[in-house]
């Protein structure tokens, strides 16, 4: 389950950054197609991220504090990269 979560965390982080760029294009150039495509994709990846946090929490024996930090990382652009690198590859004791 951790391997799947790693991939989803990375995909969610990339989709978040791309969605932010698409939002800038939408309002800067009046071209909403990027947001129309990336919005739903990011939404699905975000929901998968949250559900996988619950599954991986038990597997990795994360404390409530670690779990909340991993969930909060999803609200930060590139937060998924931090989660994948710091908590999944090199767990904090």
pLDDT of residue 91: 55
Total number of domains in the chain: 1
CA distance 30 to 7: 32
pTM of the model: 0.86
Over residues 1-29, the pLDDT tens digits come to 888 998 999 999 999 999 999 999 999 99
Query: Looking at beta carbons, which pairs linking 83-89 to residues 24 or more positions away fall under 8 Å?
Result: 83/9, 84/6, 84/9, 84/10, 84/13, 87/60, 87/62, 88/2, 88/5, 88/6, 88/9, 89/6
Domain range for residue 43? Answer: 2-89
> Buried (b) or exposed (e) across 73-82, using 16+ Cβ within 10 A?
bbeeeebbbb
- Mean pLDDT, the chain, as a whole number? 90
Tell me the average pLDDT across 66-89: 86
Lowest mean pLDDT among 33-42, 58-67, 82-91: 82-91
């Amino acid at each position: 389950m951790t391997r799947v979560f790693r991939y989803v965390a990375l995909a969610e982080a990339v989709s978040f950054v791309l969605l932010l760029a698409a939002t800038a294009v939408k309002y800067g150039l009046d071209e909403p197609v990027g947001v129309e495509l990336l919005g739903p994709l990011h939404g699905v990846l975000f929901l998968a991220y949250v559900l996988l946090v619950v599954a991986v929490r038990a597997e990795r024996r994360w404390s409530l504090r670690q779990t909340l930090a991993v969930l909060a990382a999803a609200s930060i652009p590139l937060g998924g990269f931090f989660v994948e690198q710091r908590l999944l590859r090199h767990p904090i004791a």
